[in-house]
Amino acid sequence: MLVDGEHLSIEDVVNVARYGEKVEIATEIREKIDKTRKAIEKILAEDKPIYGVNTGFGELANVKISNNKIKELQKNLIRSHACGVGEPLEEEIVRAMILLRLNSLAKGYSGVRYEVLDRLAEALNKKFYPFVPSQGSVGASGDLVQLAHVVLALIGEGEAIYNGKTLPAKEVLDKLEIEPLELEAKEGLALINGCQFMAAILCLALHDAYNLLKNAQIAGAMSFEALRGIDDAFKQEIAKARPYRGQMKASKNLWNLTRNSGISRKGKVQDAYSLRCMPQVLELFMNH
């Protein structure tokens, strides 16, 4: 699956997160990544203050950080925000988070080195599974806690899960032959300042909801056939009388599913609500 920052789909997220599809970074984004990185380095060379790059964070925004402390600043940012608690997130959620963060950085606006993207892709392809606690937040700036735990493991600190066991992250990196990520200026900030935890859960939940809805319609059609339902209720002429988008979709699907069934409806006058009102029951879900 090719990551270029522009074309990631929910299906892509599911395939990588759940089914281990390999990822590759599109070659055409390299130039843009390098260009924005050089812009960061130019500003640093001019000793201009950039929030979170060579300054403190929050109330410490006016505190200048010397160039020889910038790497330490980024590493300490990760350490300070990796403060989650509770059971670890499922592997598929963590993998989805890593992919979504990779996709965001691939847009080329974050000023990170290309090596950072490459390391995220390598972590996915070698199935590196950082231990990310399921609870914790530091406010409304994004999923800082969860992403910080991902990055903490990538730099060789914190923990990771390997063959069902929780181990020191550095040990797992060594087993998978992944070099710990060395953070340069801005990169810690760029890696955690996003909403990829909630986006990961939403992608997987939406995918499952669509599948559930599809199966609900198929199961409904099977019940309809078994109970010799009258298919007039699914005609588009009926659906158009109350033109709600969702129930029109459901009516069309149920109509198509019950074509040419060969089941006799002789002697039936009207079906129960549970059969003839299936499109209206499904309407709310079909709208989304």
Q: Where are the domains of the chain?
A: 2-194, 205-286
The pairing of strands 24-25 and 2-3 is parallel
pLDDT single digits (tens) 100-151: 999 999 999 999 999 999 999 999 999 999 999 999 887 667 899 999 999 9
pLDDT > 70: percent of the chain: 98
Q: What is the DSSP string of 7-32?
A: ---HHHHHHHHHH----EE-GGGHHH
- pLDDT digit string, tens, across residues 250-272: 999 999 999 988 887 777 888 99
Residue 288 has pLDDT above 60, yes or no: no
CA-CA-CA-CA torsion for 214, 218, 221, 222, nearest 10 degrees?
Answer: -160
The CATH architecture to which 2-194 belongs is Orthogonal Bundle (1.10)
Residue 139: predicted pLDDT: 67
Return d(Cα 286, Cα 280) in angstroms, integer.
10
pLDDT in tens, 32-75: 999 999 999 998 998 888 888 899 888 888 999 988 899 999 99
pLDDT of residue 209: 92
pTM above 0.75, yes or no: yes
Name the β-bridge partners of 165. Answer: 162
The residue with greater pLDDT, 52 or 202, is: 202
37: nearest Cα among 218, 210, 223, 185: 185
Helix (H) or strand (E) holding 74, with range, is: helix 70-81
Under 8 Å between Cβ of 150 and 94: yes
Task: Report the pLDDT value the prediction gives residue 31, as an integer from 0 to 100.
Answer: 96
223: pLDDT strictly greater than 60: yes
Point out the residues that are catalytic: 51
